Amino acid sequence: MKKLTLLSTFVVLIAVFISSCVRTVNVNADENYWLNQERGDVVYSDAYCGYYVVETLYGYSILRSTGSSRPYEGDIMYGNFGNYGTRNYYNYSAGIVVSAQVVEFDLSYVDAQIALEYYCPSYGKNAEARIKNSGAVKIARSK
């Protein structure tokens, strides 16, 4: 009985240790790399939904947060928003690298609204929740 208790305690401690390990990325060493990637402005983020919307020069992309941190509305991000898949993105506003999965990309404003209602059912029920337009991306589009 003592061996079983000791063994189970040991296994629990190892599980807690392994799950608490966090991979950190040194952003300062690679900031030039990130700033040469595609820029996107976060135009919708909700604490109750794991998805957020990024506006790029090519339209809107919907990303699913796969890490522990999620960007806020107004944050500037850099990375590849034009392909499906899970990858890292640089949140310039927070100075961190986040992991996310692109589930939709190059959407129009209306298509992004419809897709967001699908991924976040509470979005369609909240009349005040709407995707905001980013002024910085509009200026870049007009040039």
Whether the CB-CB separation of 53 and 60 falls below 8 Å is answered with yes
**Between these two residues, 132 and 59, which has the higher pLDDT value?**
59
**For residue 94, what pLDDT is reported?**
92
Q: What values do phi and psi take at 83, rounded to 5?
A: -140, 150
E strand or H helix that includes residue 103: strand 96-107
CA pair distance 62, 47, nearest whole angstrom: 15
Q: Give tens-digit pLDDT for 18-51.
A: 555 555 455 555 788 999 999 999 999 988 889 9
